[in-house]
Amino acid sequence: MTRAITLHEVSKYYPKQPQPAVDRFSLDIAPGEFLVLLGPSGCGKSTVLRMIAGLEDITTGELLLDGEYSNDLAPGDRKMAMVFQNFALYPSMTSRENIGFPLRFEMPGAEHGPRVDETARILGIEEILDRYPGQLSGGERQRVAMGRAISRHPSVFLMDEPLSNLDAKLRAHLRAEIARLTRGMGVTTVYVTHDQAEAMSLGDRVAIMRSGVLQQVSTPREAYHLPENVFVAAFVGTPRINLLQATVLAPLSGGMWIDFGRQRLGLPEPLSRDHQLLRIQQGRRIIVGLRSEAVRIAQPSQAQPGEVVLSGIVEHVEYQGHESLVHLNTGSRPAVVPELEAPRPTVADTRPGTKRPANGSGGLGKLAQKAARRIQATVMDRESSGGSSGAHAAPHGAAGANGQNGVNGHGGANGAAHDTDQANLPVADRQDGPAMQTGDLVVRTGPDIRVRRGDRVPLLVDLAHLYVFDHTGTRICPAPQGHARLE
């Protein structure tokens, strides 16, 4: 038996907590589906799981099981089995007794032996049935804990970070086993994790949460390729997506550029429909997302249609065996998502006596100030988090590894990157903070790439894999589905 789970506008307020742990959460989980709840620590994943289990009251909203209102159904009547991170086995019971324990209540008076044997066979743990927990490895103990859940033949599995206490190798192994088991049994499974790689490899769909709020529910593939907002883009994928602050330049005289401060990306004409939509962002702050595979190190002459040119200075090469990750400085300002990483201190931060200006947005107009504040609420600018009062033009130390400040643009191909004169930068950019940060772009290459720290290298950016997020962090390019398109 398997069942459908529906959460409709479910919120949870814990006593004395002004903010909800879960905020108007709505989700339909189909019978037999493997759904992963993914998000950083404290975002409310376990609370959602515990509300489904009936271990936590729902403050407002509805839980439906197979379409029936079930907010008040006792946990024992929900036919759900939970597997936790800290799987507690009874130390004085053998594996066989531990697995059979819940059956004493589920099937009182019945013979449990066949059910336990069947479970052990599914899990491949027949030979450890007569051992005590103290005689088992971590992985074996977790298998017994899984066995205890499976033996009950539940209609739903609820798993709360069940693998996080295990080492990486065992985790990968058990992950595959869990996928095989739950799919084989066809039981609806809700699996909580903060590990995006685990979520991507396990889930039919992933539901990504941030601060109690559901951000996106989609297949893992869609979460990676079409993140609805900058948070999802940054949370999903390794290495982390490159997020760069930029401005759209779309003069009436024609053409459109994405301006990173020191370099610009020219969008090829005729503009695609998605790029046409960027025109309304003219002059506004945006965030550009580029996955490490969306950029390659190659000469402008090798540009394919849809590729445009940038350049960067090599800061560091991470050799990974099957590939290398090249960290580059393009002279752009990276954006960071507050929950996902602490802002990196700048040189100015560490200088005694440097103060942040009273008005962080300096000489911006009111509208621009408002936009800047909103962008900070969503994505925090590394520079402005510490900022000295606008020493923006100062050369960055690492960029000077080879005595050069920033990078030169390259003309040609089907889009050109241009050096932008610091004096001509929009005020909003100039007021933002001190020098450019190091290593603003990570590019994935073959393992045998021959570049050295300090080399200036040409880059080709695949525009088909360029994301643009607006000041609220919402993806605007590629345009969201159903978005009105300009003709």
Ligand X SMILES: Nc1ncnc2c1ncn2[C@@H]1O[C@H](COP(=O)(O)OP(=O)(O)OP(=O)(O)O)[C@@H](O)[C@H]1O
Nearer Cβ to ligand X (42/357): 42
Least CB distance from residue 185 to ligand X, whole Å?
25
Angle, helices 138-150/113-123, rounded to nearest 10 degrees: 130
Q: For ligand X, which is the closer residue by CB, 209 or 379?
A: 209
Residue 86 binds ligand X (CB under 6 A): no
Measured from the CB atom, the residue of 44 and 133 that comes closer to ligand X is 44
Site size with ligand X, rule: CB under 6 A: 12
Question: Considering the rule CB under 6 A, would residue 162 count as an interface residue with ligand X?
Answer: no
DSSP-H helix ranges across 214-345 = 220-225, 230-235, 273-277
Work out how close the CB of 143 gets to ligand X at its nearest, in angstroms, rounded to a whole number: 23
The DSSP result for 312-356, as a single string, is: EEEEEEEE-SS-EEEEEE-S-EEEE-TTT-PPPPPHHHHSTT---
Identify the residue among 6, 47, 346, 420 touching ligand X (CB under 6 A): 47
| Four-residue CA torsion sign, 342, 347, 348, 349 | positive
> Is 24 an interacting residue with respect to ligand X (CB under 6 A)?
no
For ligand X, the closer of residues 44 and 162 by Cβ is 44
Find the shortest distance in angstroms from Cβ 85 to ligand X: 8
Is residue 12 within 8 A of residue 44, CB to CB? The reply is yes
> What is the rounded CA–CA span in Å between residue 404 and residue 448?
26
Least gap, CB of 31 to ligand X (angstroms): 25
Burial class (CB in 10 A: 0-12, 13-18, 19+), 322: exposed
Verify binding: residue 17, ligand X, rule CB under 6 A: yes
The correct pick among 39, 100, 154, 458 for binding ligand X (CB under 6 A) is: 39
Nearer to ligand X, 131 or 194 (CB): 194
- 278 DSSP assignment: G
Closer residue to ligand X, CB minimum distance, 194 or 225: 194
The correct pick among 45, 78, 171, 275 for binding ligand X (CB under 6 A) is 45
Least distance to ligand X, CB of residue 287, Å: 25
Token pair listed for 211: 């601060």
User: What CA–CA distances, in Å, run from 441 to 72, 243, 311, 328, 444?
Assistant: 51, 8, 10, 5, 10
Phi/psi of residue 283, each to 5°?
80, -10
Assess 41 for contact with ligand X (CB under 6 A).
Answer: yes
Pick from 426, 425, 428: which is nearest to 369 by CA? 428
Token pair listed for 82: 């939970």
| Region near ligand X per CB under 6 A, out of 37-45, 238-246, 341-349, 472-480 | 37-45
Q: Does 42 bind ligand X (CB under 6 A)?
A: yes
Residue located via tokens 């069940």: 162
Using CB under 6 A as the criterion, what x/- string covers residues 192-211 for binding ligand X?
--x-----------------
Complex with ligand X: residue 39 or 409, whichever CB lies closer: 39
| Residues engaged in binding ligand X (CB under 6 A) | 14, 17, 21, 39, 41-47, 194
